Amino acid sequence: QVQLQESGPGLVKPSETLSLTCNVSGDSMSGYYWSWIRQSPGKGLEWIAYISSSGSTDHNASLKGRVTLSLDTSKKQFSLKLRSVTAADTAVYYCAREDPSGYVTPWGRGILVTVSS
Amino acid sequence: QMTQSPSSLSASIGDRVTVTCRSSHNISNYVNWYQQTPGKAPKLLIYATSTLQTGVPSRFSGSGSGTDFTLSISSLQPEDFATYYCQQTYSTPQTFGRGTKVEIK
């Protein structure tokens, strides 16, 4: 049974880059999309981006190109970088596995990232 | 894009509960439903409008097509008090409803 765990700093300064990593255990990464989703009181659940097991990516255009994803299947990890953060990027960030049909399961436990000086 | 209603509801154990999501355009059957309890990540309940995820109790069901979708709980149990979200995956970006919080009456 696949499990995911986010890691990274819980506090990021405005204008800096938010960097998170997701470790995948229990199953191969092949055949799925590996996603980042965030949740904040103001915006609710917001899909950020995904990277496929073959390396193709897609991201939410609302983030205006601030997103970079990477994948390391040998380490069973994928990562998110979000540049030029503001207070509006404060949220719980989840990594998750997305089936090609679009549904998301399972999710990591989530990590709260606060943007503040 | 996904308008979910109601935003909250109060119900008793054993009640039938219905949550609705409406899309602004036809999204076929590309709707999924999630349950979230406080402090936890969302959990997939139903995908492709009506397919129950493995391990999810049969009191949960989903229906709809096109623009109108429904999540139903046939007989509310104590562990069902949570927030429920719909998700559309017909077009990118995938989007979620704002959630329905099911509370104890």
Q: How confident is the model at residue B20 (pLDDT cuts 50, 70, 90)?
A: very high
Q: Are A108 and A8 within 8 A, CB to CB?
A: no
pLDDT in tens, A49-71: 999 999 999 999 999 889 999 99
What residues have CB less than 8 Å from B34, skipping those under 6 apart? A104, B42, B43, B44, B45, B84, B85, B86, B87
Mutate to test the interface with A, among B85, B86, B96, B98 (most CBs of A within 10 A): B96
Respond yes or no on whether the N-terminal peptide bond of residue A100 is cis (omega within 30° of 0): no
The answer to whether B24 touches B1, Cβ cutoff 8 Å, is: yes
Q: What is the pLDDT of residue A115?
A: 98
Residue B43, H or E segment: strand B43-47
Residues of B in contact with A103 (CB under 8 A): 32, 44, 47-48, 53, 87, 89
Interval B67-98: pLDDT, tens: 999 999 999 999 999 999 999 999 999 999 99
- Cβ contact B41–A58 (<8 Å): no
How large is the average pLDDT for residues A84-95? 98
Residue A25 — pLDDT band, cuts 50, 70, 90?
A: very high
Beta bridge partners of B8: B101
Q: What is the pLDDT of residue B68?
A: 98
Q: What is the DSSP letter of B31?
A: E
Q: Which residue has the tokens 């090609």?
A: A100
Indicate if the pLDDT at residue A27 is higher than 90: no
Closest chain B C-alpha to A16 CA, distance in angstroms? 25
- Return the pLDDT at A64: 85
- Structure-derived torsion over alpha carbons of residues A69, A31, A29, A81, reported in degrees to the nearest 10: 10
Q: Where are the alpha helices (DSSP H) in chain A?
A: none
Other CB atoms within 10 A of residue B69 CB: 28
Cβ A19 vs Cβ A66: under 8 Å? no
Rg (CA), chain A: 13
> A107 contacts in B (CB within 8 Å)?
41-43
Beta-sheet pairing, A67-72 with A77-82: antiparallel
Contact A44 B98 (CB under 8 A): yes
Q: Is B2 helix (H, G, I), strand (E, B) or coil?
A: strand
Q: Nearest by CB to A107, which of B42, B87, B97? A: B42
Whether residue A16 lies within 8 A of chain B, CB to CB, comes out as no
Could you give the CA distance from residue B102 to residue A18 in angstroms, rounded to a whole number? 34
Q: Over 90: is that where the pLDDT of B10 sits?
A: yes
**How far is B12 from chain A, CA to nearest CA, in Å?**
26
Q: Which residue, among A2, A45, A48, would best test binding to B if mutated, counting the most B CBs under 10 Å from its CB? A: A45
Cβ proximity of B60 and B52 under 8 Å: yes
